[in-house]
Amino acid sequence: MSFPDPVQVFRTEAAELLEQVEAGLLDLNHDLGDKEQIDAVFRGLHTLKGSGAMFGFEALAAFTHHCESAFDQVRKGTVPASHDLVNAVLGATDHMRALIEVPGGNHDAVSEMLLARLRTAVDSVGKPAPAVPARPAACTYRLRFQLPVNAMANGTNPIGLLDELRDLGDCRIVADRSTVPALDDLVPTDLHIAWTVELMTEQPRSAIDDVFIFVMDDMQLDVEVITGAGPTTGSVRKPAVEAVRPEAALPQDLPQVQSQPVAADLPAATRSAPAQADAKQAKNNENVRVPAERLDELMDRVGELVIAQSRLSQLAGVSGDLMLRAVSEDVERLSGELRDTMMVLRMVPVAHLFSRFRRLVHDLSIETGKTIELITEGESTEVDKSVIERLADPLVHLVRNSCDHGLETADERRAAGKPASGSILLSARQAAGEVIITIRDDGRGIDRDRVRAKAEASGLIAPNAVLGDQELLQLIFQPGFSTAQQVTNLSGRGVGMDVVKRTIDALRGTISVVSRPGEGSEISLAIPLTLAIIDGLLVRVGTGRYVIPLSAVEECLELSVEEDMRSRGRSFISLRDSLVPFIRLRDLFRTGSKPDQFQKVVVISTGSERVGLVVDQIIGDHQTVIKSMSKLHHDVASFSGATILGDGGVALILDVAHLVSAGQYQEAQLRAAG
């Protein structure tokens, strides 16, 4: 049995912590008085520092300590939160990632620069002279606490917690070992000791909660205020921990601890600690972190199983053995359920993708000097994880393009009667077997005259060529195309939109552009939900077999000989009082064979556009394991992939988006000719 690399586990958890810290900082930037976000950022930095020191990332721990200290001052009210401070810590999170990835690198110069920026941000805040508070009266508390059994295995150091309690004042600590098991049953990494602490301190009650802030949800903690304060003078005593026998866990001179803590002195989270610990433990048990490569490997095995099941079904279909048919049906059902379960495991909400752009828009707003607001919708929409990973770069280019080219400066927006702050909308929704991701801005829109002039100057189109609006707008995705008047750090080299086009084509997706002068632009990406296994409709055209993604199929109907002859030259069928263009796949694929007597029309759609595909035979539904096309067939636009059938043959998977576009283009040509 192989165990995960602890350092790699730390890196994974550190990445999640940094994402949480970054999200908290961005939220805090909108509301500098948000105490909840201040505490969340402080907790994240504190945990990252402690975990880094535990796993040997000393440079990370030392650097993070300064950021934590700055936010500790904010948390205590010594320093007010400011935009400069938030931006300084945001910049520091990028350096923390570098310290995690390359712990032995030479980071001293960058660390000093960032820490100087952090000190400037803290010192630049005008701090009023603090009033000298009256010396608070000392109060005595009795604490009884027990950490969860797996506390040490999870990185909690109980001695460190006791040291923090000692720092609060005069305390006496007693360890209760009554629950420690026999030596034969003892697990070295388990914690069975509880502690009783009598603490006399001038600190407020909240200081005790701060000691246990990172383990509060998983531990049992009772806090009691003891009547009568002890002496308030003299040096603070910090004795060692006393280990006593179970029967003498509490000394005679200590008053008995009440079975229930004083409710008035405890926050709700503390009063219900046992119940919260059980709920938190149950919640943690619901989630298991699995490496992505294992999911990919499992997906490959499921794909092979689906192909084998198809082979078994075909053999059972031609066999007279009823037992074989029964087994085949069971295997088909189970493989289908396993496939569906596997697909759910691979689905990831686009919120994981959209959250990356909050930081990007924040940085671009500072760099361009524009006030930009990012709005997200449909974050719960789920997409295959492999699709999510490949969408990151295209969306980065589109968002950067909207910030730099699309949105105007504040002065330009005011002159145009718009709010000074521009907005970018990122939205996602499902439509049949696709996810539609939209990037919309309320900027100046695309200047069609400049696009045409640039295209003519680059030789992409002939002078005065007649182009439809969508054809003209699609020119912005051509390699090297840019209408920027000067090259900046953000754009102007003409490579970004080309990357978008190539990536979306590789995902078998489509791009549509809508732009209104003075109102903004909208770019929609239609992407398949998954790139692994789909439900398909298996059809025959001539002697070849093809798969149509079942999610795109609306209905199937018969094409009579009379209607076939009547539609020659027009290629339209009447479907419930509307005309639907259709494509004869026999002609498109040049099969050279005669059509069957009873041809079928499969009506497919993407969004609101529909087209019919004329085939010879509809064989039936088919679980389709998608295989990539070879490089020799990469430019064949009618197909998006291939699959292996049960008899070992190969069926090509039709590219629905391309065929619908071809059908709509054919319809437009015929209407223009008519």
Identify whether the C-beta of residue 623 lies closer than 8 Å to the C-beta of residue 339. Answer: yes
Q: Using one digit for the tens of pLDDT, what is the confidence trace for 648-669? A: 788 888 887 777 777 666 666 6
Task: Give residue 608's pLDDT.
Answer: 65
| CATH number of the CATH domain containing 109 | 1.20.120.160
Same domain, 369 and 492: yes
User: What SS3 state is found at 349?
Assistant: strand
> Which pair of structure tokens corresponds to residue 244?
């006593």
Our CA angle for 37, 41, 45, nearest 5°, is 170
The three-state secondary structure class of 422 is: strand
Q: How far is CA 551 from the centre of its chain?
A: 25
Residue carrying the six token digits 């295995």: 153
pLDDT value for 673? 60
**580 and 499 both lie in a single domain:** no
The sheet with strand 194-201 has its strands ordered as: 220-225, 139-146, 194-201, 169-176, 242-243
Sheet architecture: strand order including 639-644: 617-625, 533-541, 544-549, 650-654, 639-644
Look at the chain and report how many structural domains it folds into.
5
Tokens of 276: 């919260």
Residues 325 and 223 occupy one common structural domain? no
Task: Flag whether pLDDT at 42 surpasses 70.
Answer: yes
pLDDT at 438: 93
Evaluate whether residue 131 is within a structural domain.
no
Secondary structure class of 524 (helix, strand, coil): strand
Integer Cα distance of 546 and 205 in angstroms: 72
Vertex 70 angle, CA 65 and 72, to 5°:
90
pLDDT for position 279: 46
Percentage of the chain lying above the pLDDT 70 cut? 82
Question: Are 377 and 428 a contacting pair, CB within 8 Å?
Answer: yes
- Residue 459's alpha-carbon distances to 372, 447, 497, 558, in angstroms, are 36, 19, 18, 46
CB atoms inside a 10 Å sphere around CB 158? 18
Q: pLDDT at position 250, please?
A: 37
Do 489 and 379 lie in one domain? The reply is: yes
Residue 489 structural domain: 350-528
287 belongs to a structural domain: no
507 by DSSP, 3-state: which? coil
Six-digit token pair at 448? 């069609």
| Interval 577-588 mean pLDDT | 82
- Of residues 59 and 595, which shows the higher confidence score? 59
Q: Residues 180, 181, 186, 189: is their CA dihedral positive or negative?
A: negative
Among 95, 123, 151, identify where a domain stops: 123
425 has a pLDDT exceeding 90:
yes
Nearest-CA neighbor of 304 among 643, 649, 628, 621? Answer: 643
Q: Which of 39-43, 217-221, 425-429, 543-547 has the lowest mean pLDDT?
A: 217-221
pLDDT bracket for residue 130 (50, 70, 90): very low
Of 93, 123, 153, the residue at which a domain comes to its end is 123
In a domain, 293, yes or no: no
Residue 290 lies in a domain: no
- At residue 131, does pLDDT exceed 70? no
pLDDT tens column, 296-346 = 788 888 888 888 888 888 888 888 788 998 998 899 889 888 888 887 887
pLDDT of residue 674: 55
Helix segments in 186-244, DSSP class H: 205-211
Least confident of 139-148, 232-241, 322-331, 355-364: 232-241
The residues with which 225 forms a beta bridge, in sequence order, are 141
- 395 and 307 within one domain: no
Q: Is residue 549 part of a domain?
A: yes
Q: 91 and 215 share a domain? A: no
Counting beta carbons within 10 angstroms of the beta carbon of residue 617, is it exposed (0 to 12), middle (13 to 18) or buried (19 or more)?
middle
Share of the chain above pLDDT 90, in %: 7
pLDDT at 243 over 50: no
Transcribe 474-506 into DSSP letters: GGGGSTT----SS--SSS-SS-HHHHHHHHHHH
pLDDT at 531: 67
Distances in Å between the alpha carbon of 475 and those of 241, 368, 438, 450, 514? 75, 26, 19, 11, 13
pLDDT digits (tens, 9 = 90+) for 612-624: 888 988 988 887 7
331 found inside a domain: yes
Mean pLDDT across the stretch 24-30?
Answer: 89
Q: 523 and 541 share a domain?
A: no
Q: Are residues 540 and 553 in the same domain?
A: yes
Residue 281 has pLDDT above 80, yes or no: no
Q: Determine the pLDDT at residue 266.
A: 36
CB contact set of 455 (below 8 Å; sequence gap of 6+): 461, 472, 475, 478, 481
56 assigned to some structural domain? yes
pLDDT of residue 24 exceeding 50, the answer is yes
- C-alpha to C-alpha distances, 584 to 411, 561, 613, 652, 669, nearest whole angstrom: 56, 14, 6, 16, 16
Average per-residue pLDDT in the chain?
78
Residue 569 has pLDDT above 80, yes or no: no
Token readout for 187 is 């697990």
Tell me what pLDDT residue 441 has. Answer: 92
User: pLDDT band at residue 386, thresholds of 50, 70 and 90?
Assistant: confident
Q: Do 149 and 270 belong to one domain? A: yes
Q: Domain boundary at 475, 500, 528, which?
A: 528
pLDDT confidence tier of residue 634, bands split at 50, 70 and 90: low
Q: Where are the alpha helices (DSSP H) in 135-233?
A: 158-168, 205-211
pLDDT of residue 129: 40
Same domain (yes/no): 257, 143: yes
Residues 166 and 254 in one domain: yes
Q: Which residues pair with 488 in a beta bridge?
A: none
Q: Would residue 296 count as lying in a domain?
A: no
258 and 151 co-located in one domain = yes
pLDDT of residue 252: 39
Calpha distance 315→301 (Å, rounded): 21
Structure confidence at residue 148 as a pLDDT band (50, 70, 90): confident
Mean pLDDT check: name the lowest of 120-129, 235-244, 328-337, 388-397.
235-244
Question: Of 125-134, 242-251, 585-594, 656-665, which gets the smallest average pLDDT?
Answer: 242-251
427 in Cβ contact with 437 (< 8 Å)? yes
Give me the mean pLDDT over the 389-393 stretch: 85
- pTM assigned to the model: 0.64
At 157 the pLDDT is 80
Amino acid at 261: P
Most confident of 208-222, 404-418, 586-600: 404-418
Give the separation between CA 556 and CA 499, rounded to whole angstroms: 37
Assign 491 a pLDDT band (cuts: 50, 70, 90).
low
